[in-house]
Amino acid sequence: MRYLFFVSIVSILLSSGCQPVKPPRLTPISAETFNTIVSTDTPSLISPFAIPIFEKGLFKATLNIGKHHLTGLAFIKKIQTEDTDSTVSGTTYRMVLSNEFGMTYFDIETGNQSFNVNYCFGPLDKKMLWKVLKTDLKLLFPQEPDKSKESFFLQDQTNLLVSKIKQGNFTRWNLYSPPDTLKEVRGKSTLADHATITFSNFSNGFPSRITLTNALIKLKFSLSLISIN
């Protein structure tokens, strides 16, 4: 029985967690080549939201984790922190996910080196779940990449430009449709938090639909834009 359980776990990890996060068919290109095609002046390079002036936004949200189905609103706000004694400094993003009636599911704040769960609704307050969600949600928000650790590629057939960035303990792959539209972000830090974020339905340069998936924990988090400032 114990053997069967072990085999099941290994099978799940092999079938989903071990899926390569690296996009296929990549040919390395130089930073210069990458920069001539992609507009480096556009902060979209470091913003999954592909918009430089994202201050706050309201989204319809659907979060499926396993059998659990949550719906509601996600409010995201950029916060500039001046306090150097704060655990979170510089630019951070705050996301509050609540149900339609306003009751909060979770309230998180994430920055380059930080990730804080300010509040979490009881049934979601699981240490293991948040260990995975931490990387998944960090991928969702703009980060300042360490340029020295960035490498560039051209994807055959699709002609998408790809940048690989090492951020802390996880690797992030950004897939761009030239000149400045971020189509997809992939990343993982462990076998369990392999996540993919897709951006679609662009309107005025902003993706109206953002979908985050993590196959291993059967997570699908969808955001549909309502308003943005």
Partner 1 sequence: MNKLLFILLLFACQQASSQNRPLDAAAIQQIKQGVQQAARTTLTITSEFTQEKEMSILNDKIISSGAFYFKKERSLRWEYIHPFSYIITIRGDLISISNEGEVKSFNTQSNRVFAEVNNIIIGSVNGTLLDDNSFSAGYSQNRDHYIVTLTPLSPSLKENLEKIIIFFDKANFTVNQLEMVEPAGDFTRITFSKKQLNQPIPDEVFVLR
Interface residues with partner 1 (CB under 8 A)?
Answer: 56, 58, 60, 62, 67-71, 73, 75, 77, 94, 96, 98-105, 107, 118-119, 121-123, 224, 226-227
Give the C-alpha separation, 40 to 53, whole Å: 15
Whole-number minimum distance, CB 61 to partner 1, in Å? 10
Decide if 13 contacts 191 (C-beta within 8 A).
yes
Residue closer to partner 1 (CB basis): 17 or 90: 90
Distance CA 150, CA 166 (A): 7
Nearer to partner 1, 26 or 117 (CB): 117
Residue 38, number of CB atoms within 10 A of its CB: 22
**Residue 30 vs 118, nearer CB to partner 1:** 118
Pair type for strands 195-203 and 206-214? antiparallel
Give the nearest distance from C-beta 79 to partner 1 in angstroms: 8
Where b means 16+ CB within 10 Å and e means fewer, 60-94 reads ebbbebeeeebebbbbbbbeeeeeeeeebbeebbb
Token pair recorded at residue 108: 């998180």
| Token pair 């993919």: residue | 196
**222 close to 61: Cβ distance less than 8 angstroms:** yes
Taking the C-alpha atoms of residue 225 and residue 210, their distance in angstroms, rounded to an integer, is: 8
Q: Cβ 56 to partner 1, closest distance in Å? A: 7
The residue (of 215 and 226) whose beta carbon lies closer to partner 1 is 226
- 78 versus 166: smaller Cβ distance to partner 1: 78
* Least CB distance to partner 1 at residue 58 (A): 6
Shorter beta-carbon distance to partner 1: residue 23 or 57: 57
Q: What is the dihedral of CA 53, 229, 49, 212, to 10 degrees?
A: 160
Shortest distance in whole angstroms from residue 52 CB to partner 1: 21
Least gap, CB of 91 to partner 1 (angstroms): 15
